[in-house]
Structures are given as C-alpha cells and as structure tokens.
C-alpha cells in the first residue's frame, strides 16, 4: 500500500508539471491511499495480541481474516526469537512457536527485546514442564 501511494505521488508530481489538474488529482489520490494505509496499519497493529493461559498460548491477528491460534505448551518443539535489520534498529524482536505441525500459526512480532527474551524463557520453561511427544 505504501508502494502504491509512493508511485501515485511520483506519477502525480510528474504529470502536474505538464497537466496541472490531472496531476493534482493524482497527488490527492496518493495522499488518500497513504491515509487509508496508515489507518489499516493501525488496525492491523491493534489486531495483534497474545495471552498466556495456564496450559496454552493464544495468539490473535488479522483484520480482513481474523485468526486466533491456541497452542498448548506441551506441543511446543522450538521457540524462536528473530530480529531482522529493521526490527533490530527499532529494538524489536519476533517470537515464534513451532509445533510438529507446519500449519500451526503462533508468531508474535514487534515485541521489545527484553519482553521477547522473557516470553521465550517462560515458554521454554512451561514447554519443559508439560512436554509431550507426537
């Protein structure tokens, strides 16, 4: 969405040099798209959530497609903490739980690094306490 807005903006400015009304319309459209995008990013950001329950972890996400995953601690095989270049520069990290199923979907992005490390340690501890096989 950001890319679409940027492209619209550049094309609009380019056209505005020769044909002012059309160019201006495009620039306005670009700003609208950017605004919508920002609002959507906000909604998407707010849609993320997780809840540590006694026996399992709940992870919620999505605006268009709402998803809620329940992963029992006993089913965790690995807990992964990753931080890409962008996340690193912002001091963030992503915690991801893996089970034996490739379809399990328990990723928690955008945690600050200390929270991510704490969460990982707690999850590993609970996983060891309740570990079960296949």
Partner 1 sequence: MAASTAGWDSWHRLHPLSPVVQAGRRLVPLLVVLAVPFLSQGSSARSQTLIDAGLVGLAVVAGAAEWLVTRWRIEAGVLRIDTGLLRRRTTKLPLSRVQSIDLVRPGTARVLGLAEVRVRSGGSREGDVRLAYLAAERAEHLRDGLLALVRGSHTERGRAESLLARAATPRLLASTPLRGAFLWPTLGAVALLVWGRQLSLGGGGVAAATLILLAVGTGTARILSSQYGFEVAHTQDGLQIRGGAVGTFTETLALQRIQALRVVEPLLWRPFGWAKLVADVAGGQRRRDEDRAASGRIRTLVPVAPRAEVLRVAESVVGPAAREGGTAPPARARLKAPLSYPLLRAGLRDGYAVSVVGRFRRLTTIIPLAKVQSVRWVQGPVQRRLGLATVHLDAAGARTTGAALRDRSAEEARELLQRLPELCAAARRSPTARPAPVP
Q: Tell me which residues touch partner 1 (CB under 8 A).
A: 55-56, 64-72, 74-75, 77-78, 99-106, 132, 134
Minimum gap (Å) between residue 30 Cβ and partner 1: 26
8 in helix, strand or coil?
helix
44 vs 33: CA distance, rounded Å: 16
Residue 115 vs 130, nearer CB to partner 1: 130
Minimum gap (Å) between residue 32 Cβ and partner 1: 21
Residue 6 vs 68, nearer CB to partner 1: 68
Minimum gap (Å) between residue 48 Cβ and partner 1: 15
Write the CB contacts of 112 (distance below 8 Å, at least 6 apart in sequence): 91, 92, 93
Residue 30 vs 79, nearer CB to partner 1: 79
């Amino acid at each position: 969405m950001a890319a679409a807005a940027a492209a619209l903006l550049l094309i609009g400015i380019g056209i505005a040099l020769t044909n002012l009304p059309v160019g201006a319309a495009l620039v306005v459209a670009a700003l609208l798209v950017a605004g919508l995008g920002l609002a959507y990013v906000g909604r998407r950001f707010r849609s993320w959530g997780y809840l540590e329950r006694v026996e399992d972890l709940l992870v919620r996400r999505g605006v268009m497609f709402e998803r809620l995953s329940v992963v029992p601690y006993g089913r965790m095989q690995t807990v992964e903490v990753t931080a890409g270049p962008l996340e690193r520069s912002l001091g963030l990290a992503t915690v991801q739980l893996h089970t034996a199923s490739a379809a399990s979907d328990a990723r928690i992005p955008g945690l600050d690094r200390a929270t991510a490390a704490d969460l990982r340690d707690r999850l590993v501890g609970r996983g060891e306490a309740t570990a079960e096989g296949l």
